[in-house]
Chain A
């Protein structure tokens, strides 16, 4: 199995990144959140030791990168040190809403500057009022303050913009802003809202099935999924339509199922939709 997965990754049949849903709770309640995360959401924490073990297994199997998402991962007190450990195993990107970067956390993240690591912050609009309408009060200010601090200490920052559409000139103003904050164009991704989770209640987003989503192995405390867009929650219930297996240990079990399904998958629209 190890050789098979490694070959599939090397040949581009399987994406190289394995995602971990570190937790499901969050300090924000975003209108389009895939996982209905919020302060009252069940934590469903994957756990530090488990993520480290999974990362080692991912490397052994031939995967080439890791991703950490949530929830808001930085609500986990051990996250900065864990990211440093994970980045020592495989290159990593950690997704965050950008509101949790206290001085203490920034200091603890300093070692990431010398590691293959990036922190991807959500920033949807170039102005506070339109950005915060979807993401909550003060979100814009906190993110815009955090980005140059991370960049200034040498940590790579990526920006993810999640929108259904942008008004005339909005994208240009947003790109001017991220460049001014020290984030290059290559580290800015604009992607659509996916019609899952809380986005369903607000009538937002595009429908995306397995044919449209990159097959990035995603591990949660509830099992393994086809994509980080898979383990979504709606009405308090976990969606199972993109569930691969409940078994995540050994990692070769869901990896093998994912590869089997990928090899039988028809062409999809992931490139056109830019769901990354």
Chain B
């Protein structure tokens, strides 16, 4: 939801009537959300960032469940309020159980909600990559390679990185969570 004239850490979210020419397609179906409304300030970045983010975070040959595990876990480790709230709903819509969501958000031990070693290895990899900094230990690479081939590892690692980018962007600019998401979180006891 784009709020009228709201300044977010000095950044106003651009409304439909002020959408730059390159940004207009993103407003064609209604409210494009605060990430687009912020990026619209720099249209030439918006028009390359959104296809990239869509490819990285959107549907692909990797399962939607695996992608939501990565996105929500990364967002929780980076303490991004906007992304955690938004992707809690997305994770639930993807079919993740309440306890799985709570565990990804750090409210339960992962092992209390997950028992698939493949997913636990992925979540260990997410924690290692997202939290950095510095070199990733060979042991972490070896552990994840048991379960994932090169292509999966590349895409999932890029997904962690893209999520970190969004986490810091949304946190730094204090992007507002939509009222619909907040209502859904309250409804599911996940606020």
Contacts and interface: CB of A to CB of B under 8 A. Distances in A.
Contacts of A244: 20-22, 43
B17 interface: yes
A210 B18 contact: no
A77 B9 CA distance: 36
Interface string B68-93: 00000000000000000000000000
Contacts, number: 40
A244 B17 CA distance: 15
Contact of B20 (A241, A247, A253): A241
A245 B44 contact: yes
Contacts of A257: 21-22, 43-44
Interface residues on A, range: 10 to 19
Interface in A234-271: 237, 239-247, 253, 257, 261
B14 interface: yes
A24 interface: no
B44 A226 contact: no
B103 interface: no
A106 to B, nearest CB: 41
A240 B44 contact: no
B136 interface: no
A237 B14 CA distance: 12
A242 B44 contact: no
Interface of B: 12, 14, 17-22, 40-44
Interface of A: 210, 226, 237, 239-247, 253, 257, 261
